[in-house]
Amino acid sequence: MAALAAEVSSPVTAVLNLRERATWDVTALLAPTPDELWGQQPLVPLGALVQVRTPRNEAKEDEPVVGPGSVDTVTGDVRTRRGRGAYRLVLRVGSTDAAAHLGDVLVPQLGDGPCVLIGEQHRALTFVNFVALRPEQPTTGLWLWAALSSARGRALRRTLTVGTTGRLPLTALLNTPVPVPLPPADPCYAQLSALHARTSVAVSSEGRSWWRVTTLPVDGQWHRYLVTPTPEVFNDGVPLKELATIIAGRNPPGVFEQPRPGALPVLNGRSVDGNKVQRWAEPGTGVVAEPGDVAVVEVGVRGRAALVTQSAIAGTGVLLVKPHDRSHGEALAAYLRSEPAQTLRGTLITGGVIPRLSRSTLAQLPVPHDALSASGDAHAQQPSPHAPLSEKLEQLLWS
């Protein structure tokens, strides 16, 4: 066989000569060249910018660890999970030579998920299936975190992976060309630093027990003190009930399985974003969701939140958030989808067999002050808050 014709995701057919190819792996054969990927930017081998620290320590029994799948692709937040075996080699954040240091860039060895730039929020964490890149300059670390986590950086890492598990060979990674970092004074770094500063750590309570001594309030609002060892997180922001009216949806008495003139779509757990609607009803027969409202899924430890863009009826299984300030709708929807909000949601749910978020508990959810502080013009100039991290970085770096 001398040539290979392969269809890629776009409607293009590539014809390749395989006679002098060392591999016939389709991903490698169709991989873009550095010039195609990075354009006309000056390039430098990644290995020339960093020193490498590979995992050297064994994970302790049941030690909380962060794996490549524990990094949120939208926010860049990391979540710990309990260790499953003490035989795995890990990177611990610390000050020893074998540890990952502040400013190191951790690149996943499996898959193409976001990289992690070690900051103050990651102190004392343990990472598994990552390799640490240690740059000489702090701005170089920020640049590499952004470049390798951007859409182009993830595409680059996908072209280097091998095997069915998608393992990233270290030698290939260090030899690959990447864009030369911008000068330290470039204003782009301020935006990248602000984006990185918003990443956080959500510690899993899986497999843990805890106890604490506290004075319970006389108002009987004890739930937050019983579900989490750190109830003070509920004081970090403004309760949602002070920003919006929350209404529980209900199914209208008469519904249609096909749309009719003048009828409104009925939102439920599957169609909370306005897609996959299967029921319609006449206006006035249920709780009306108006543009600018936020529809939140009621059932589940985690649940979607979507900005209402056209009039609809909030059906059973949907909590409707009606912001007092109508300009806050999009920001509230973005926050309620975020990993920090989803983590808090998990502590507020009730029900044993079917976990459910009630109207009263959603009202307690704290909204950070900075979640609503950006102006509409600032939002227009920034990437969408609920866009994947790779797209946000793509826009900041290359747009």
What's the token pair of residue 21?
């190819």
Q: Pick 40 or 16 by higher pLDDT.
A: 40
Within 8 A by CB and 6+ apart from 22, the residues are: none
CATH number of 43-202: 3.90.220.20
Query: At the top level of CATH, which class does the domain 233-371 belong to?
Result: alpha beta
CA-to-CA separations, 287 to 167, 191, 283, 311, in angstroms, rounded: 50, 41, 9, 11
Cα–Cα distance between 363 and 59 in angstroms, integer?
Answer: 40
Contact 129, 83 (CB under 8 A): no
pLDDT digits (tens, 9 = 90+) for 324-344: 999 999 899 988 987 678 778
* 8 Å CB contact between 348 and 362: yes
**Statement: residue 139 has pLDDT above 70:** yes
Distances (CA, A) of 276 to 104, 140, 257, 295: 44, 45, 12, 15
Percent residues over pLDDT 90 in the chain: 38
Q: What is the pLDDT of residues 141-170, one digit of tens each?
A: 999 999 999 999 998 998 888 776 678 999
68, with CB counted inside 10 A (0-12, 13-18, 19+), is buried
| pLDDT tens, residue by residue, 344-379 | 887 777 765 678 889 998 998 999 888 886 433 333
Under a CB-based contact definition with an 8 Å cutoff, are residues 98 and 56 in contact? yes
CA distance 198 to 44: 29
Domain extent listing, the chain: 3-29, 43-202, 233-371
CA distance linking residue 161 with residue 167, whole number of Å: 5
Percent of the chain clearing pLDDT 70 (strictly above): 79
Q: Are 374 and 331 in contact (CB under 8 A)?
A: yes
pLDDT tens by residue, 257-297? 998 999 999 999 888 888 889 899 999 899 999 999 999 99
Which of 136, 176, 175 shows the shortest CA–CA distance to 153? 176
- pTM across the whole model: 0.55
At which residue do the structure tokens 């939208």 appear?
Answer: 74
DSSP string, 337-375: HSHHHHHHHHHH-B-SSS-B--HHHHHH-EE-GGGTTS-
pLDDT for 210 beyond 60: no
Question: What distance in Å separates the CA atoms of residue 157 and residue 172, rounded to the nearest whole number?
Answer: 10
